[in-house]
Structure 1
Amino acid sequence: MERTKLNQVVTSERFIMFSKALIEDDYYKKMKPESKLAYSLLRNRFNLSISNEWIDSKGDVYLYYPNEKLAKDLNVGKDKVIRIKKELHEFGLLEEERQGFNKPNRIYVGNLEVRKVKENTLDISDTKVVAKCDFRKSQNATTGSRKTRLQEVANYDTSNTELSKTEFSNTETNSLDEDEDKTNNNKSSNNSQQPLVVIGQIIQKNPALRVVVQTLIPDLLLNEPEQAQTVVAALDQGYKFLITELETGNTVLALQKQLQGDDSVKLFLLKIGGKQLEYMRDHLVDISQYGNYFSKGLENRLKIAVTTSQSASGF
């Protein structure tokens, strides 16, 4: 066996994003491993969908993935692929639409809905985080998706128990230790949630970004929230740049609006953002620079795209 070197871990090996929710969330733990891998493979084709403008009239992204190809990628038979797709459908993660005779089905991939609730004491700040970060749930859920079911947090009544001095001393010490641990855990949780709060605030001010973020970086939101914050901020700046260009008479964007209507700027941003992510997949060296790399790349690509004549006919 050839062991993995440090430079291979941090360099540009091609990889497939695998959401932690598939192994950490109680609901998705029940899925078979091959179904989880299939879901990751399907989501991995989103950038290809954006490049080919496979977006329906509702703004939902779809893809094509023949059973033969999926069977080959998973190294399983066609019957197994059918069972895998059936399980994904049962979990609200896949829908197919027939397109007619001899035409491949459109595949719609659902968003993961995190249902697991940590058994930590919830306070007002936790509630605010959930309220502000509900953008992570699909706003245009397909018929196959399930509503988020948050587990109830039980309230436990404390019992009055007489303790000896020794017992009280031990209990008091343990309680202090537990409180300190809880405080540290809460601080860590708040630090990890803070980027999501900022992202929620950005999207609240610019709702058009919701579908862009959900389409481009759904896994990054769950796995690398700090990097996701930088990416979302860049998308927000990019959207504002495009709006300004359109309002000042940019001919490329004006033509796009004639062709695609009011969603033209959003689709333009999706297209260019997808190209940048696709480029990064093969060229990014340091994952800690993911957000900064995306920001600079997106800015340059947008400036070029709005001044290139070929952009008007499909970027």
Structure 2
Amino acid sequence: MFGSDFKKKFEYYYGTQADQFSFIRIPRILLLDEAFSALSLSAKVLYSVLLDRMGLSMKNKWLDEENKVYIIYQITEIQSDLGFSKKKAMDYLTELEKIGLIEKKKRGFGLPNIIYVKSFIAHQSSQRSNEMRTSQEKDLVHRSIEIGTSELMR
């Protein structure tokens, strides 16, 4: 598929040229944390694009009555931007919705759905607090064993 002729068409970046592009960032936790292992890589990429579009929503002041930021990203736009078929775009949105990373709200009257992009950080902080709690529990167990042992030696 990629012959040597294809390879010759691309130029190198020089100096600060590499800073001229914006990039979609995929949160590391989506790739490495077991809680997100059920998500396909394409769903993770879509979620990252949805996160990126939150910036546009903030500029447009797209906030609901509860001050929650939302985006409007139609299936046709997802298809065009990411090269997904309609079915795949809908499947990836469903994956994200099932795991709780997005919530769709229908508006009716032929208007596109509103999408609330939820924070993956909530999972991360609850996981960390569980790890801390587990670590603290282990400390207590070790302390109680140490105290018990020292009391026996008196």
State the TM-score, normalizing by the size of structure 1.
0.36
Kindly indicate whether residue 85 of structure 2 is the aligned counterpart of residue 57 of structure 1.
no
Distance in 2 between the 1:20 and 1:8 partners? 26
The structure with higher relative contact order (CA 8 Å, sep 6+) is 1
**CA RMSD of superposed structures (Å):** 2.7
In structure 2, the residue matched to 1:95 is: 103
Task: Count matched residues.
Answer: 128
Distance 1:7 1:30, change over 3 A: farther
Q: CA deviation at 1:87?
A: 0.6
- Report the Cα distance in structure 1 between the residues aligned to 2:122 and 2:60, rounded to whole angstroms: 30
Choose which of 82, 94, 117 in structure 2 pairs with 1:109: 117
**Partners of 1:20 and 1:76 in 2: how far apart?**
23
Decide whether aligned partners of structure 1 residues 3 and 34 sit closer, same or farther in structure 2, where only a CA change above 3 A counts.
farther
Give yes or no for contact 1:55–1:62 (8 Å, CA) kept in 2.
yes
**Pick aligned residue for 1:30 from 38, 42, 45:** 38
Same amino acid, percent of matched pairs: 26
One-letter amino acid matched to 1:32? S
Counterpart of 2:83?
A: 75
* 1:29-71 Cα shifts (integer Å, max 9, x gaps): 3311000000011111112111221101111000100001101
Question: TM-score, normalised to structure 2's length?
Answer: 0.70
Following superposition, the deviation at residue 83 of structure 1 comes to 0.8
Ranges in structure 2 where 5+ consecutive residues have no aligned partner:
1-6, 143-154
Within a 5 Å distance, the mapping from 1:78-227 to structure 2 comes to: 78-113=86-121, 115=123, 148-149=126-127, 150-151=130-131, 152-153=134-135, 155=138
Structure 1 CA distance, aligned partners of 2:122 and 2:33? 6
Instruction: For 1:220-235, list aligned pairs within 5 A.
Output: none
Residue 44 of structure 1: which of 52, 56, 59 is its match?
52
Distance of aligned partners of 1:78 and 1:10 in 2 relative to their CA distance in 1, 3 Å threshold: same
* Inter-partner Cα distance in structure 2 for 1:3 and 1:35: 31
- Once the 2 structures are TM-superposed, how far is the Cα of residue 17 of structure 1 from its aligned partner? 2.3
Q: Is the 8 A contact 1:16 1:44 kept in 2?
A: yes
Aligned partner letter, 2:105: E
Q: 3-state DSSP class of the match of 1:11?
A: helix
Instruction: Please tell me whether the aligned partners of residues 25 and 115 of structure 1 are also in contact (alpha carbons under 8 angstroms).
Output: no
What secondary structure does 2:121 align onto? coil
Counterpart residue type for residue 79 of structure 2: A
Partners of 1:9 and 1:114 in 2: CA distance: 36
**What residue ranges of structure 1 are gaps of 5+ in the alignment?**
117-133, 135-147, 159-315
Contact residue 21 and residue 114 of structure 1 kept, 8 A: no
CA distance in 1, matches of 2:14, 2:26: 20
- 1:24, CA displacement in angstroms? 2.2
The structural deviation recorded for 1:8 is 5.7
Contact kept? 1:54, 1:63, Cα under 8 Å: yes
